[in-house]
Amino acid sequence: MEVMSNHISELKVYDPFLLAGALIVCVTGAWITMRLVTRVAQTHGRQRLGWYCLAGMAGASFVWCTHFAAMLAYHCHAEVHLDPLRTGLSLLVMLGAMPLAVMLAVRLYGRGGCMLGGAVLGLGIASMHYIGMAAYRLDAPVAWNGLLVAVSVLIGVGFSATALMLALRPVNPRREIETTLVLVGAVAGLHFTGMEAMRVVAMPQHMMTAHDNGQFLALGLSVIGGTMLMLIAGIASFVIDGSVRQESYEELHRMAMSDGLTGLPNRISFNERLQNEVSRANRDGEQFAVIGIDLNKFKEINDTRGHAAGDIVLTTLAERFSALLADGEFVARLGGDEFIAIHRTSDSVELHGFVERIQQALNQPIPIEDYVVTSGGSIGVAVYPVDASDSETLISRADMAMYRAKTDPHHTIWYYESTLDQNMRERRALGEDLKTAMANGQLSLFYQVQTVVATGEISGYEALLRWEHPERGAIAPPEILQLADESGLIIKLGEWVLQTACEAAAGWDDNIRVAVNMSAAQFLQPRFVVAVQENLARSGLAADRLVIEITEETVQRNPDRALAMASSLQALGVRLALDEFGGAHSVLHMLRVFPFSKLKIDRSLMQQADTDPVVAQLVRSILLMGHALRISVLAQGIETRGQFSIASAEGCDEGQGYLIGHPAQSAQAADMTGLGPAAGSIRAVSSPVFSPAT
């Protein structure tokens, strides 16, 4: 009874301003710290190290500030002194515990890593709290409740582990709130449970010596203000990084959805737009058209002018397409020289107008440095839901119409119709039959004899492909090759023909050759020479007994590669033949069909005519051919009297070159030939038009 009369049990009293400030810091700090922990888990390398430091600093500062401000908010009827060494030590404990806990949770991941990290964080908060309380020196007896101390530690560990687990899960608004509240529970729960575990026994003589609340209020608010500045810096870093990430994501999304060369939407973007248009059409009862676009001369431009010129063609057309688009219209590049468009309308007149605008864009000349090209294109149109009831079928039918336009010499625009579908199905079925025929050995080679005309002696045989279809009968070789090309079987078919012909010829007499026709795709592929070597070695056929036949079209498709292949085959000893010379696609056919009135021999031939007998004979052949076709022949580049003599002796009709006259600004000045009328039968004509070729 006497003890009770001399000791007064102290009631917990807190300054509301400091307590409110501590709560604001705690909630704000918990939110930003957990968001920073999430960001740590999402990054790697040096960037992760930076987020580690920021998360550790923000977490340690808000936990310590919450404890310190709440501790200063506590009023007791006793003299209070703050030990600066222990106060600083409590902050250092948090600066070590927070980053370590985050590292364990992120690096180990899973429940085990979060539990271990939670234990480190909870024990760190507890150590910080009780070291800080030891720095809060009271001039009065203090009693501790061991059970509540243990409970406070368990609260800190359990809530910390839960907060880390939540922070490493996918982020959403609800998850952010849960994570923040749990970490607030860990910090505030441990602090106030720990405070409740402390009992100050105020002696009567200490009742009048309470600490200076005003001084502690100022100190606490200063600490809160400084910590809030640090947290604001953390928030700013997080927001800036989020903004940069969003901008980067948008840029990556734009790149993923756009064609790198032209900037038009790509195939992914088109598929997304197409699905939206289908949904809209189904919902609103509207129609839209898909327009397939394929350039007609793009490969020719690439081969003759180079890939840089091809890129200019693509980018120019992309700019034109973009400029002609109106509301409800869309153009994308699928790859190569393929474009595709969408036009939303139920008015056929509007659709025809849009297609005509595309055609005009394709047919307009494209300037490239000092020359001009015109690409042109084939256009196929299919309308949803008239021509198809789903997106895949719609695209397929637009492709059918485009393919029909590509094969039609009179129409470059084709609208889908049901007969196209039937024709395409038959074509595809025949292509499948060809695959089956190749797999089952239903193809065969026939051999047509070649003889020496003068003696009748057999010189060789040409291998000819044959296919007897079980239902359609004999399929013509050109159609077989076209089907193989469309089905992607042309290389495999060519290899089979080459192998079969070599094996057959190996059993013939040693002086008999075998001639094999090769498609452009087969001849121009990089490993064609290797394939020839392998077949010769496998069959035992001598290289000079194999003749590879190619057409002018093959050479024109890629002259440089064709020449390289021809040279490599010649080095092996394989013979090379030019097939279909004078045929429908040859220069001779063009000379015979076109109404040319003059044939000009190139300067490069005339420059060698007086030094190379082979070239001189070639010039004579050209003159004979021109006269046979009743076309006047002009020799360009005549610069020596020897060249002039050859042209004159062979009956060349006209001549042009420095020997005859130099380019001048007027016809009178250019007419300065010193050859005289008796120099030969050639009629010397000086041209007033400047031409570097002369």
Give the tens place of pLDDT for each residue, 362-410. 999 988 887 788 888 999 999 999 888 899 999 988 988 888 888 776 7
Query: What is the rounded distance in angstroms from the CA atom of residue 93 to the CA atom of residue 567?
Result: 80
The predicted pLDDT at position 138 comes to 66
Question: What does the pLDDT read at residue 416?
Answer: 87
Structure tokens given for 107:
């690096």
Strands (E), 205-337: 288-295, 329-335
Distances (CA, A) of 188 to 65, 66, 184, 194, 499: 11, 8, 6, 10, 84
At residue 230, the pLDDT reads 61
Distance CA 411, CA 610 (A): 50
CB-based contact 660:684 (threshold 8 Å)? yes
Q: Strand, coil or helix: what is 542?
A: coil
pLDDT at 251: 57
C-beta of residue 66 within 8 angstroms of C-beta of residue 22: yes
Burial class from Cβ neighbours inside 10 Å (0-12, 13-18, 19+) for residue 469 reads middle
Q: Mean per-residue pLDDT for 278-303?
A: 87
Residue 4: the pLDDT is 40
Distance between first and last Cα of the chain: 132
Are residues 198 and 144 in contact, defined by beta-carbon separation less than 8 angstroms? yes
Q: What is the value of pTM for the model shown?
A: 0.49
Does the pLDDT value for residue 650 go beyond 70?
yes
List the structure tokens of 116.
Answer: 């271990």
The confidence score (pLDDT) of residue 339 equals: 94
Contacts of 644 (CB under 8 A, 6+ apart): 638, 655, 659, 660, 675, 679, 680, 682
pLDDT at 308 over 80: yes
pLDDT one-digit tens code per residue, 56-87: 788 888 888 888 777 777 666 556 667 778 88
Dihedral angle, C-alpha 90, 92, 96, 101, nearest 10 °:
30
For 621-632, write each residue's pLDDT tens digit. 989 998 888 989
pLDDT at residue number 249: 59
> Which residue from 402, 389, 275 is spatially nearest to 342, judged by alpha carbons?
275
When pLDDT is averaged across residues 264-272 and rounded to a whole number, the result is 90
pLDDT averaged over every residue in the chain: 81
Who wins on pLDDT, 428 or 517?
Answer: 517
Which domains does the chain show, CATH number per domain?
2-244 (no CATH), 267-416 (3.30.70.270), 428-579 (3.20.20.450), 595-684 (3.20.20.450)
According to the model, what pLDDT value does residue 210 have? 47
**pLDDT at 605 exceeding the cut of 70:** yes
Provide the pLDDT for residue 216: 53
Q: Residue 106 to residues 37, 51, 187, 537: CA-CA distances in angstroms?
A: 8, 12, 21, 62
106 vs 508, which has greater pLDDT? Answer: 508
